[in-house]
Amino acid sequence: MKLTFSSLLVLSGALFVLPLASHAQHGHLNAGAAGQSQDDALIWANGADFIASSGYVKALPLAETGRFAGYYEGGITLTALPLTAENGGPDAQAAAAGSFEQFAIVKAAGPIGGRFGFWESGSTTPTLSMLPGDISGQLFPLSEGDGSPESDPYGHIHGRRFTTTKPGVYTAWFKAFDTSVNGANAGPIHTSSEALPIRFLAGEPTLLDQVPMGGGMVHVNIQYAEHGAEPHFHIHVDEGVPVLTPLAISQPDQQFAPAMPWFEDLDPSLRGWAFNRQYGFLLDPTSEPLPEGHSIAIRQLSASPHLQVYTYRQNPATWDLMFGTAGSSDTLAWNLMMFHPAYAAPADTTGPFTATYEVILMDAAGQPTSFREQFTLNWNVAPGLSLGALTVESDMIHVPVSAPATWTGYSYRLERTGDFKTWTVVDEHTPAGPGIIDLHDDAPSPNHGIYRVRPSTP
């Protein structure tokens, strides 16, 4: 049997309890259209009230009885706006007559091991269940008409629910589709909507409202001196190399509060970047006074690819690009106060990382002088969930998996696909402790297979 394989790794993942559900809990998310002509796009007419960036968070309390017992559950009613008076219209943002609107939860994200679910009216088990990182094209009706050419696209279906299996912050992306055959060439009238991300808060988890340093401070000590000669700088960097570490590894089962501006970049449910704030830039107290009107600037000369730098403050919460990240200025006009920039990189990158800086004496006109000094900072990257080399033994595929020692209480699922659309679970194992986990596929595809490993809650 001829076998060709490739591997794919997918991570799906002071303390403060925040009143995240304080935003109005809107009841109806309305689908409509930008216009009623051929190829006008469907829209979420009031999506601005629900979109994650608005601060809206849908609370999902734990159900202790009934069909949702053991799940964190709640409802948002998805509707299709009416076109006729019979159904309460006409609404100016309703889709065209003859359109038939459906929706899909095209992607879900959440805490490692958690599942996001959708329940149809009357169902006793989740109609759709998604692990973090899952994508789906499964459609659910919004319209209640028969889809005939002159039918009202209106729909208002109650009894549907959203659930999760563990507490935490989840994000689900909703997309509306017209599946009618009443448009041009017997196709749909409308094109699909943009995906709308909505946040859900399951239970009452304790969430981080600050970005941990990642260890003790490593001083970048900058001293200005003259010693009776030309101005110059002495720069001393403490020993030790900070480690860029994802929160999923440093503090498993923790998440950041979604209102924090670093949530999108650092939370394990989304980008989950590795980060560190140990480097502290400070002016040496033995520095001589700067010449009248002069100042100090710090410029980043170069950095490893993918290394990101942010100005960070906890209060007010600040997460701003700096030192050349994504087109920001590569130079900081330093106010001589100590600061701890946040350094971050995608969790699937490998170290070491470096960044080289120069300290510049600026004259009274704000122009750089020739007096400057360079220094370099270094980081390593914490190893995460990784796959070893795949081996074939008696037509069985063995996949060695190494997980962070901090990850306890998880099962590890080996999944296979041939098209990146449908993934099949081929093995699952719950380790007794740290070490190499041997997952295997005892019935591999005869042509090719792409594998991923994901943690889940047993």
What amino acid occupies position 315? Answer: N
Confirm whether 5 is domain-assigned. no
- The structure tokens listed for 457 are 């809650």
Residues 367 and 390 in one domain: no
**pLDDT above 80 for 7:** no
Q: What is the pLDDT of residue 26?
A: 56
Distance CA 123, CA 121 (A): 6
Residues 194 and 219 in one domain: no
Query: Which of 418, 419, 392, 407 has the alpha carbon at shortest distance from 454?
Result: 407
Residues composing the chain? 458
Q: State the first-to-last Cα distance of the chain, in angstroms, to the nearest integer.
A: 34
Distance CA 344, CA 309 (A): 6
Confirm whether 276 is domain-assigned. yes
Residues 433 and 330 in one domain: no
Mean pLDDT of the 181-204 span: 98
Q: By residue range, what is the domain housing residue 183?
A: 19-206
Confirm whether 174 is domain-assigned. yes
Determine contact, residues 374/362, Cβ cutoff 8 Å. no
- Domain count across the chain: 3
DSSP per-residue letters across 379-430: EEE---SEE---EEETTEEEEEEE--TT--S-EEEEEEESSSS--EEEEEE-
Residues 377 and 390 in one domain: no
Confidence of residue 23 (pLDDT cuts 50, 70, 90): very low
Which of 350, 381, 412 corresponds to the end of one domain?
A: 381
Determine contact, residues 388/399, Cβ cutoff 8 Å. yes
Taking every pair of Cα atoms in the chain, the longest distance, rounded to a whole number of angstroms, is 91
Q: What is the pLDDT of residue 181?
A: 97
Confidence of residue 290 (pLDDT cuts 50, 70, 90): very high
**pLDDT above 50 for 370:** yes
Confirm whether 10 is domain-assigned. no
Residues 359 and 402 in one domain: no
pLDDT in tens, 39-93: 999 999 999 999 999 999 999 999 999 999 999 999 999 999 999 999 999 999 9
Residues 344 and 292 in one domain: yes
Q: What is the pLDDT of residue 1?
A: 35
- The structure tokens listed for 298 are 């710090």
- The structure tokens listed for 436 are 């190499």
Determine contact, residues 108/114, Cβ cutoff 8 Å. no
Determine contact, residues 274/308, Cβ cutoff 8 Å. no
Flag the least confident range among 135-144, 271-280, 340-349, 438-447. Answer: 438-447
Confirm whether 139 is domain-assigned. yes
Label the pairing between strands 28-33 and 77-80.
Answer: parallel
Mean pLDDT of the 220-232 span: 90
**pLDDT above 90 for 431:** no
Q: Kindly state the percentage of the chain with pLDDT values over 70.
A: 94
Label the pairing between strands 232-237 and 243-246.
Answer: unpaired
Confirm whether 390 is domain-assigned. yes
Question: Which domain CATH number covers 450?
Answer: 2.60.40
Confirm whether 4 is domain-assigned. no
Residues 182 and 39 in one domain: yes
Residues 349 and 374 in one domain: yes
Dihedral (C-alpha) 47, 48, 49, 55: value to the nearest 10 degrees?
Answer: 120
Determine contact, residues 172/134, Cβ cutoff 8 Å. no
The rounded mean pLDDT for the chain is 90
101 to each of 37, 41, 126, how far by Cα in Å?
Answer: 15, 12, 22
Task: Supply the Cα-derived Rg of the chain in whole angstroms.
Answer: 27
Residues 390 and 325 in one domain: no
Distance CA 394, CA 269 (A): 38
Q: What is the pLDDT of residue 94?
A: 98
Strand partners of residue 232: 225
Q: What is the pLDDT of residue 15?
A: 32
Residues 272 and 373 in one domain: yes
Q: Kindly state the percentage of the chain with pLDDT values over 90.
A: 74
Mean pLDDT of the 343-364 span: 94
Among positive and negative, which fits the CA dihedral 84, 89, 95, 96?
Answer: positive
Flag the least confident range among 123-137, 157-171, 398-412. Answer: 398-412
**pLDDT above 80 for 111:** yes
Confidence of residue 239 (pLDDT cuts 50, 70, 90): very high
Q: What is the pLDDT of residue 10?
A: 39
Determine contact, residues 111/253, Cβ cutoff 8 Å. yes
Query: What backbone phi and psi angles, to 5 degrees, belong to 228?
Result: 75, 5
Residues 43 and 129 in one domain: yes
Residues 298 and 396 in one domain: no
Determine contact, residues 107/116, Cβ cutoff 8 Å. no
Confirm whether 361 is domain-assigned. yes
